[in-house]
Amino acid sequence: MKRLRFLGIFLIIGLVFTLLSCTKREMKDQGTMTEKPAAETQKPMGNQQMAQKSLYERLGGEPAITAVVDQFIANVLADERINKRFARTTGERAQRFRTNLINQIGEATGGPQKYTGLSMKAAHAGMGITTAEFNALVEDLVAALNKFNVPEKEKSELLAILAPMQKDIVEVP
């Protein structure tokens, strides 16, 4: 009698064990359970996935763009080749100029910002900006991008967006 009860308990334990391992396999087949933790099963982001990210996102969004614009402005104001052009860009006007640059770059790179300033032609009309001045300003921007270690790919994508503006800004080749 005692032996029978022991056998019964033994059988029940065996049945429960079999049932549990079946359910586990089913869950695995359905993809709800994996052997490895999530971090191990996730593949590193491929080039294709990176390419789907906007330039805005790859640059680091508004905080990164703001930091680059501030450094860019500081570089321009310290650049003897062009800083006299910005002699009257002070106070509220300087704030507006900064906001315009952040929004312009944000929007152009795929961010949610909306540029509400003047067209590049209207903004620079009659200033007689030369190609050399344009190149100096681009150099100041590149220095700002370098300071924040923006990779070559993102740097050249941003410069490629700005390059077509040259024809609307430069009046003296």
Residue 21 or 90 having the CB closest to ligand HEM: 90
Say how far apart CA 29 and CA 140 lie, in whole Å.
Answer: 57
Cβ neighbours of 3 (radius 10 Å): 7
C-beta closer to ligand HEM: residue 11 or 172: 172
Nearest to ligand HEM of 60, 89 (CB atom): 89
CB of 41 to ligand HEM, least distance (A): 44
Q: How far is the CB of 28 from ligand HEM (least distance, A)?
A: 55
Residue 135's H or E segment, with its range, is helix 131-147
State the minimum distance, in angstroms, from the CB of residue 147 to ligand HEM: 18
Show the tokens assigned to 60: 């680091």
Contact residues for 1 (Cβ-Cβ < 8 A; gap 6+): none
Question: For ligand HEM, which residue has the nearest CB?
Answer: 117
CB of 86 to ligand HEM, least distance (A): 5
Note whether 124 and 71 are within 8 A (CB).
no
Residue 157 corresponds to which tokens in the numbers above?
A: 């994508």
Burial degree of 60 (CB within 10 A; 0-12, 13-18, 19+) = middle
Task: CB nearer to ligand HEM: give 28 or 121.
Answer: 121
Q: Kindly list the residues in this chain that would bind ligand HEM in the complex (CB under 6 A).
A: 82, 85-86, 88-89, 93, 97, 100-101, 104, 117-118, 123-124, 129, 133-134, 137, 162, 165, 169
- Tell the smallest beta-carbon distance from residue 154 to ligand HEM (Å): 16
* Six token digits for residue 29: 């087949």
Which of residues 64 and 138 has its CB atom nearest to ligand HEM in the complex? 138
Which residues are paired to 172 by β-bridges? 130
